[in-house]
């Protein structure tokens, strides 16, 4: 028997702004490039395909998921709900948020690095590949 996943609740700008103002986590599920081009101020970037892995790192509270128009964020809210985390999706996405004159940012949020963190093993792997390729 196939179970149908719960449909994510979509919220309008008024409800989304209230969640944002209350300090509930805002998760932008777009790619890092899309996020850097413009996002809801204070939102963290967790691409849709990485959402389950970041579940334990999200602060408490109902999660507001956002994307450009609301399609991917609705999928993200549904995934979070299946994992037991209350979540809603912003109807209209960041385009509606920005059009309403609500706070947005470009680039990384303060305290975030501009690029993904390197693995502590990356230097070792680079050296190992160079040594093997060079015959030594």
Helices and strands of the chain, counted as H and E runs: 5, 7
CATH topology for 9-108 is: Oxidized Rhodanese; domain 1 (3.40.250)
pLDDT tens digits for 24-42? 999 999 999 999 999 999 9
Does residue 127 carry a catalytic annotation? no
The pair of structure tokens assigned to 95 is 């385009």
> Which is more confident, 56 or 109?
56
Rounded to an integer, the average pLDDT of 94-123 is: 72
Give the residue from 74, 58, 71, 62 showing the smallest Cα distance to 9.
74
Which of 19, 27, 67, 88 is flagged as catalytic?
A: 67
The pair of structure tokens assigned to 47 is 């691409």
Q: Is a pLDDT exceeding 90 seen at residue 118?
A: no
CA–CA distance, 37 with 53 (Å, rounded to integer):
24
What is the value of pTM for the model shown? 0.77
CA–CA distance, 66 with 54 (Å, rounded to integer):
16
Give the residue from 94, 60, 63 showing the smallest Cα distance to 76.
63
């Amino acid at each position: 028997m196939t179970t149908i996943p719960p449909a994510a609740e979509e919220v309008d700008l008024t409800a989304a702004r209230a969640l944002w103002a209350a300090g509930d986590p805002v998760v932008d599920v777009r790619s890092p490039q899309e996020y850097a081009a413009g996002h809801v101020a204070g939102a963290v970037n967790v691409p849709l395909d990485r959402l389950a892995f970041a579940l334990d790192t999200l602060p408490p509270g109902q999660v507001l998921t956002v994307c450009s128009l609301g399609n991917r964020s609705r999928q993200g809210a549904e995934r979070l709900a299946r994992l037991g985390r209350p979540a809603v999706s912003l109807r209209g996405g960041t385009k509606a948020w920005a059009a309403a004159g609500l706070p947005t940012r470009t680039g990384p949020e303060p305290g975030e690095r501009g690029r993904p963190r390197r693995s502590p093993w990356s230097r070792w792997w680079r050296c190992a590949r160079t040594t093997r390729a060079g015959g030594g």
